[in-house]
Structure 1
Amino acid sequence: MTAMTAEISTAQPLVSLKDMVEKTITSNPEVQARYHKFLEAGYEQEVARGNFLPDANIVSTYRKQEEMIKLNNGTATPRMNNELVLRQMIFDGFATSNDVKRLGHTSRVRYYELQSAMQNTTLEFMRAYIDSLRYRELIQFAKDNYVVHKQLFDRIQERVTAGVARKVDLEQAGGRLALAEANLLTEMTNLHDVTARMQRLYGDLPPDTLEAPTFFNGGVQPSAAEALKLAYLQNPDLLAAMEDIQAKEKEIKTSEARYMPRLDLQARKNLGTSSDGENSNAAADVLELTMNFNLFNGFSDSNLVKQSAERLNGSRDLRDKACVDARQIVSIAYNDINQLAVQRTYRERHTTSIENAREAYRRQFDIGQRTLLDLLDTENEYFQSKRSLANTQYDLQVAYARVYAGQGELLRKVGAARGNLPEYSREEYMDAENVCQAVAPVQIIVDKEALLANAKPLSSTYTSLAKP
Structure 2
Amino acid sequence: MAKAYGGNPQLNASRALTRVRDEDVAIAQSGYRPTASINVQAGVTQQEGSLEGGTRQQLLKPASAGLVVNQTLFNGFQTDNNTRRAESGVYGQRETLRFTEMSVLFSAAQSYMNVLADTATLELRRNNVEVLEEQLRQTRDRFNVGEVTRTDVAQAEARLAGARADVSAAESALRTSIGIYRQNIGVEPRQLAPGRPLDRYVPASLDQAVAVGLKEHPQILSAFHAVDAAEAQVKVFEGTLYPTLSVQGQVQQAYDQQLANTSGYAASILGRLTIPLYQGGQEYAQIRQAKETAGQRRIEAEQVRDQVRAQIVDFWGRLEAAKARVIASQAQVQANEVALNGVREEARVGQRTTLDVLNAQQELLNARVNLITAQRDRVIFSYGVVQAIGRLTVRFTAVPVAAYSPKTHFDQVKDLWFGVRTADGR
State the TM-score, normalizing by the size of structure 1: 0.79
Instruction: State how 1:391-430 maps to structure 2 within 5 Å.
Output: 391-411=373-393, 412-413=396-397, 415=399, 419-422=403-406
Partner amino acid, structure 2, of 1:319: A
1:171 partnered with 2:151: no
| Partner of residue 297, structure 2 | 315
Alignment partners' CA distance in 2, 1:200 and 1:341: 29
Cα distance, 1:273 vs structure 2: 2.0
Matched, 1:278 2:258: no
For 1:80-119, what per-residue CA distance to the aligned partner results, in whole angstroms no more than 9, with x for missing partners? 4322001122111111111111111100111111111111
Taking structure 2 as the reference length, the TM-score comes to 0.87
CA distance 1:325–1:64, change in 2 (3 Å): farther
Give the whole-Å Cα distance in 1 for the aligned partners of 2:231 and 2:96. Answer: 19
Partner of 2:243: 261
CA distance in 2 between partners of 1:85 and 1:138 (Å): 77
Shift of 1:24: 1.3
Aligned partner of 1:463 in structure 2 is none
Contact 1:84 1:271 in 2 (8 A): no
Instruction: Assess, with a 3 A threshold, how the Cα gap between structure 1 residues 327 and 416 changes in structure 2: closer, same or farther.
Output: farther
- The 1:323–1:354 alpha-carbon spacing in structure 2 relative to 1, beyond 3 Å, is same
From 214, 221, 225, the counterpart of 1:232:
214
Please name the residue that 1:87 is paired with. Answer: 70
Greater displacement, 134-143 / 304-313? 304-313
SS of structure 2 residue aligned to 1:272? strand
Q: Answer yes or no: is 1:325 the counterpart of 2:325.
A: no
* Matching residue of 1:130: 113
Q: Which amino acid aligns with 2:111?
A: A
Match of 1:97 among 80, 83, 87: 80
Evaluate the alpha carbon distance shift between residue 219 and residue 383 of structure 1 in structure 2; reply closer, same or farther with a 3 A threshold.
Answer: farther
Structure 1 residue 355: Cα displacement = 0.8
Amino acid at match of 1:51: G
Match of 1:202 among 174, 185, 192: 185
Given that 2:201 and 2:386 are in contact with CA atoms closer than 8 Å, whether structure 1 keeps it comes out as no
Q: Is the 8 A contact 1:215 1:413 kept in 2?
A: no
Shift of residue 418, structure 1, vs aligned partner? 5.2
Structure 2 match to 1:250: 232
Alpha-carbon shift at residue 236 of structure 1 (Å): 0.8
**Counterpart of 2:261 in structure 1: which amino acid?**
G
Q: 1:48 aligns with which of 22, 28, 33?
A: 28
CA distance in 1, matches of 2:78, 2:222: 24
- Aligned partners of 2:18 and 2:406 also within 8 Å: no
Tell me, yes or no, if the aligned pair for 2:197 and 2:380 is still in contact at 8 Å.
no
**Residue 396 to residue 102, structure 1, CA distance change in 2 (3 Å):** same
Give CA-to-partner distance per residue, 1:121-155, whole Å, 9 cap, x none: 11111111111111111111111111111110111
Specify the SS of the correspondent of 1:23: helix
User: Distance in 2 between the 1:146 and 1:407 partners?
Assistant: 44
Q: CA deviation at 1:213?
A: 2.7
* Cα contact 1:344–1:392 (8 A) shared by 2: yes
Q: CA deviation at 1:201?
A: 1.2
- Distance, in Å, in 2 between the alignment partners of 1:22 and 1:234 is 22
Distance 1:238 1:65 in 2: 69
Cα contact 1:264–1:290 (8 A) shared by 2: yes
Q: Are residue 381 (structure 1) and residue 363 (structure 2) matched?
A: yes
Cα distance in 2 for partners of 1:327, 1:286 equals: 64
Q: Which residue of 1 aligns with 2:333?
A: 351
Aligned residues: 395
- For 1:191, the equivalent position in structure 2 comes to 174
Q: Using a 3 Å threshold, how does the CA distance of structure 1 residues 100 and 311 change in structure 2: closer, same or farther?
A: same
Deviations 1:371-429 (A, max 9, x none): 333221111100001111111111111111111111121223362555341579xxxxx
Shift of 1:369: 2.7
Superposition RMSD on alpha carbons, in Å?
A: 2.4
Change (3 A) 1:212 1:92: same
- Structure in which a larger fraction of residues adopt strand: 2
Contact 2:69–2:248 (8 Å) recurs in 1: yes
User: What is the match of residue 182 of structure 1?
Assistant: 165
Question: Structure 1's 229 and 222: CA in aligned 2 closer, same or farther, altered over 3 A?
Answer: same
- Displacement, 1:317? 2.3
Q: Which moved more, 1:185-194 or 1:412-421?
A: 412-421
| CA distances 1:137-195 after superposition (whole Å, capped 9, x unpaired) | 11111111111111101111222234432111111111111111111111111110010
Whole-Å separation in 2 of the counterparts to 1:291 and 1:85: 18
Is the Cα contact below 8 Å between 2:253 and 2:266 reproduced in 1? no
What 5-or-longer segments of structure 1 have no aligned partner? Answer: 1-20, 71-76, 425-468
Conserved in 2, the CA contact under 8 Å of 1:113 and 1:237? Answer: yes
Give the AA of the match of 1:262: T
Q: Deviation of residue 62 (structure 1)?
A: 6.3
Please state if 1:298 is matched with 2:280. Answer: yes
Counting only pairs closer than 5 Å after superposition, residues 104-115 of structure 1 correspond to structure 2 as 104-115=87-98
Distance 2:362 2:83 in 1: 68
Residue matched to 2:9:
29
Gaps of 5+ in 2: 51-59, 409-426
